[in-house]
Chains A and B, each alone.
Chain A
Amino acid sequence: NAGVTQTPKFRILKIGQSMTLQCTQDMNHNYMYWYRQDPGMGLKLIYYSVGAGITDKGEVPNGYNVSRSTTEDFPLRLELAAPSQTSVYFCASSFSTRVGFETQYFGPGTRLLVL
């Protein structure tokens, strides 16, 4: 049982390049999330999805896009990389219902440097 996996672990991009951060979970969780973590700033929610075909913006969605064609995968797309997107990106998943809180399981993160 791999849990939440993310690829790549580390990437350097030039300004204006694009890339996709991959996230896969094998726990059959309905909810998936993308966060970014900047030094000393905690985690901020970029986008989330409550199920296949459904996505919604979080706190800091500008410059990113997501899709959720399957339950397992939730890729994050950067179209025109900017230095402000240098960060560590975490994907998470949970089995959430309307009546309780379920643990969010985090992947190991992708460290992105935009130069």
Chain B
Amino acid sequence: GQQLNQSPQSMFIQEGEDVSMNCTSSSIFNTWLWYKQDPGEGPVLLIALYKAGELTSNGRLTAQFGITRKDSFLNISASIPSDVGIYFCAGQLGYGNKLVFGAGTILRVKS
């Protein structure tokens, strides 16, 4: 089946630092999504991207839909302790279609 390669696997950063993570695929996706999962809870959608080249922000989070439609990037600026969690990318082939998830990036923030 399709696979998404998400990197890095984990990050341990100092509070206030910026964070970057990315996701690549061997297949083209029409929609890229970024989710965050807090410990003991289900994933929550952070940002959805619908068009190649699109750059979208949600507060301190910025995500981009790669121009080739095979990759996406998530940046978090000025990290804070509540940013701790697992960040997942997900791709969707078409409208109403199923999602394919990356393996996740574990983010730890040192205050």
Residues of A within 8 A of B (CB): 4, 31, 33, 35, 40-45, 48, 50, 58-59, 90, 92, 96-101, 103-104, 106-109
A52 to chain B, nearest CB (A): 16
Q: Is the CB of A92 within 8 A of B104?
A: no
Q: Which A residues lie within 8 Å of B88 (CB)?
A: 42-43
Check if B98 is an interface residue, CB within 8 A of chain A. Answer: yes
A71 to chain B, nearest CB (A): 17
For B40, B48, B88, B96, the residue with the greatest tally of chain A CB atoms inside 10 Å of its CB is B96
Q: Is the CB of B96 within 8 A of A43?
A: no
Number of A-B contacts (CB under 8 A): 59
Q: Contacts A41-B103, A42-B102, A43-B101 known; A98 to B41 CB distance under 8 Å?
A: no
Q: Is the CB of A103 within 8 A of B45?
A: yes
B24 to chain A, nearest CB (A): 14
Q: Is the CB of B42 within 8 A of A106?
A: yes
Check if B1 is an interface residue, CB within 8 A of chain A. Answer: yes
Q: Which B residues lie within 8 Å of A33 (CB)?
A: 98
B52 to chain A, nearest CB (A): 15
CA distance A6 to B45 in the complex (A): 19
For B4, B92, B98, B102, the residue with the greatest tally of chain A CB atoms inside 10 Å of its CB is B98
Known: A90-B42, A101-B48, A103-B48. 5 other contacts (CB 8 A): A40-B103, A43-B43, A58-B98, A92-B42, A103-B45
Q: Is the CB of B92 within 8 A of A101?
A: yes
